[in-house]
Amino acid sequence: MSKIKIGILEDDEDQSALLALWLQEAGYGVEVYAEGTGFIRALQTSGFDLVLLDWNLPEMSGLEVLQWLRRNVHTHIPAIFLTTRTEEKHIVSALEAGADDYVTKPARPHELIARIGALARRSGLMEDESDSLEVGEFILDRKQRKVLKGDESISLTLREFDLAWVLFANLAKILSRDYLLRNVWNLGNAVNTRTVDTHISKVRTKLGLRPENGWQLSSVYHYGYRLECLTTEE
C-alpha cells in the first residue's frame, strides 16, 4: 500500500484513538485533530491525502471545514464524513458540500477500511504495483530503474527515477511537496522542500518535460507540482 496520509477531525478522544488504531493497523499514516482551526492549519502546511471528518465539533463544524477545504485547497482531497447524523437532509448537505462518502456512527472497522480503500483507489491514491509504466513516448521500467524515450535510454539517479515514476503515475494531478517527500524520500514535511524542487528541475531537464516537447512540469504556487501532457493523440 502506498503511504497514504489520513487526517482525522474528531473531538471525542476515545473515538479518535480507536479510529487512529484501525487506520494504522491497516497501514495508513494518521494525524488526529480535535478542532477545526488546527485541522485547517495542518491542511495549509503539510496537507493530507484523505480526510475523515466528524460533523459536531467545537468552534467550526465538520461541514464548515469541508466547505473551507473545497474553496481553498488546489486539489481535490477525498473526504469522508463520519457522524451520528443519519437524516437524509444531512447526508445531502454533506455530499453537496463536497464529501465523497458518508459513514454513520458507530463505525464498523472493516466497513470503514473498505470504504477508505475504495475511495483511495477511485482517487488514484493507491500505488500502481505494475513493473512498467508507458505514458506517451516514455516507458518507465521499475525493475531496471530505466526510462526509455523512444529508442533513447535516459540515465536517472534512483531518486530521480522514483520521482519520475510518481509524476507519470499521477499525470495531470497536483501533487503536494509533502506527498512527494513521503512517497519518494520517505520523509515528513519537516525536511527542506528545496530537496523536491531541485530534483524536479533535474527530471524536467533530463526528460525534456517542456512545452516545446509536448509536456509541462509546472509548479503550483506554495503547494507542489503537476505533470501534464500537452498533446493529444489523433
If one compares 204 and 233, the residue with the highest pLDDT of the two is 204
Phi-psi region of 127 (alpha: psi -120 to 50; beta: other; left: phi over 0): beta
Residue 56: all three cell numbers together: 459536531
Spatial distance between the Cα atoms of 163 and 177, rounded to a whole number of angstroms:
11
pLDDT of 234 strictly over 50: no
pLDDT at 193: 64
Spatial distance between the Cα atoms of 196 and 177, rounded to a whole number of angstroms:
7
What element of type H or E holds 5? strand 5-9
Residue 199: all three cell numbers together: 530534483
Domain edges within the chain: 5-122, 156-229
User: What is the average pLDDT across 22-50?
Assistant: 90
| Topology given in CATH for the domain delimited by 5-122 | Rossmann fold (3.40.50)
pLDDT at 1: 44
Distance, CA of 141 to chain centre: 23
Distances (CA, A) of 170 to 49, 105, 126, 223: 13, 33, 10, 16
Pairing mode of beta strands 79-83, 50-53: parallel
Distance, CA of 138 to chain centre: 24
> In the predicted model, what is the mean pLDDT of the chain?
86
Spatial distance between the Cα atoms of 77 and 223, rounded to a whole number of angstroms:
13
pLDDT at 127: 57
Residue 16: all three cell numbers together: 479518535
Contact 6, 50 (CB under 8 A): yes
Spatial distance between the Cα atoms of 50 and 159, rounded to a whole number of angstroms:
25
User: What is the average pLDDT across 170-187?
Assistant: 80
User: What is the average pLDDT across 156-167?
Assistant: 92
pLDDT at 180: 85
Distances (CA, A) of 2 to 65, 112, 117, 128, 191: 26, 18, 11, 9, 20
Q: What is the CATH number of domain 156-229?
A: 1.10.10.10
